[in-house]
Structures are given as C-alpha cells and as structure tokens.
C-alpha cells in the first residue's frame, strides 16, 4: 500500500476519496500537524471535514465530550482519553473516520510512568474505536513529527 513516491497523507486521502469517507482530527501534543499534513495536499477539502486542537482538558471535555471521570482517572495522556477524543470529533464534525492524539512532546511534562515522548492515539473508523500508545525519542519537533506520521500511517493500515 505504501510507496516512496507518494506521501502517506496523500495515500490516505486517495483511499478516503475512493471509499467516499471523510476524516477529522482531534490533536493535543501535535497541535494540528496531522490536519496540516492532510490539508497541505491539493484537493483535500473533499474528504477532510476539519480538526480540533484540544490542548486543555477543558476543551477535551467541553468541545470533544471527553468525560471528566476519564480525565481524572486516566489523565489526558491515555488511550481511554484519546478514544473519547476520536469519537467526539467524529460526531462533532460529521466524519466517518477520525484520529486523535495526546501526549508529552517535551521538553517539560511527563511522569516516571509516562516520560516525555509518550503519545497516545485514538482511531475511529466507521464506528469502531481502537487506540495505541507509542514512545518517541528526540526533541519536541521530532516527537511531534513522528507522532503525526504514526497517526497517518496507522489510519492507512486500519482502512
């Protein structure tokens, strides 16, 4: 499915067009980089419905519908939270497909259990929710780039 001549984001958009599906994003630590990667490609507006940058717990809760209990019990950097973010943005922006991300891009933040570089992802594909946690190394810019690439390539695999 992957080829070196076409970026993963372009392949994902092609697949969405072929299947007549729409995508939305809910991003915390990537700050809109996933949406930027998708919308940088001409013609993306026919399948990209939009995105929400939800840096604070208040936005995660009030805009995306993440439960207060989820944030209190698991934190914003958890698969439980990113699944609710993905489902929330799909409903909010009327998309059949969505991806969400929340993590510690650094240099500050993180915990002993979840150090800087820990990033959680939520994937919503036509009503089916899944999630993943990855640990990326490097500086803030690298962690954000790697998280963006992982989100896009994982969505390709899940389609």
Could you list the mean pLDDT of each consecutive 10-residue stretch along the chain, which spans 159 residues?
73 97 98 97 97 97 98 97 98 98 91 92 97 96 97 95
Whether the Cβ atoms of residue 133 and residue 118 lie closer than 8 Å to each other: yes
Q: For position 6, what pLDDT does the model report?
A: 83
- What is residue 109's predicted lDDT score, i.e. its pLDDT? 84
Say if CB 90 and CB 98 are below 8 A apart: yes
Q: How far apart, in Å, do the first and last CA atoms of the chain sit?
A: 11
Q: What pLDDT is stored for residue 80 in this prediction? A: 98
Cβ(123)–Cβ(95) below 8 Å? no
Burial status of residue 135 (CB atoms within 10 A of its CB: 0-12, 13-18, 19 or more): middle
CATH fold for the domain made of 8-158: Maf protein (3.90.950)
- Give the pLDDT score at 139: 95
Q: Where are the alpha helices (DSSP H) in the chain?
A: 8-19, 33-39, 57-62, 68-74, 79-92, 140-158
């Amino acid at each position: 499915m992957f080829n070196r001549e076409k970026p993963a984001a372009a392949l994902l958009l092609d697949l969405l067009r072929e299947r007549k599906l729409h995508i939305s994003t809910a991003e915390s630590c990537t700050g809109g980089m996933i949406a930027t990667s998708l919308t940088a490609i001409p013609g993306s507006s026919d399948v990209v419905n939009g995105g929400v940058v939800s840096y604070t717990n208040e936005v995660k809760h009030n805009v995306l519908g993440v439960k207060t209990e989820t944030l209190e019990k698991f934190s914003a950097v958890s698969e439980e939270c990113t699944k609710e973010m993905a489902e929330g943005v799909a409903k909010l922006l009327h998309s059949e497909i969505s991806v969400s991300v929340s993590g510690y891009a650094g240099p500050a933040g993180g915990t002993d259990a979840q150090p800087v570089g820990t990033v959680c992802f939520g994937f919503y594909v036509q009503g089916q929710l899944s999630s993943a946690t990855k640990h990326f190394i490097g500086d803030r810019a690298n962690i954000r780039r790697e998280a963006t690439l992982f989100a896009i390539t994982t969505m390709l695999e899940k389609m």
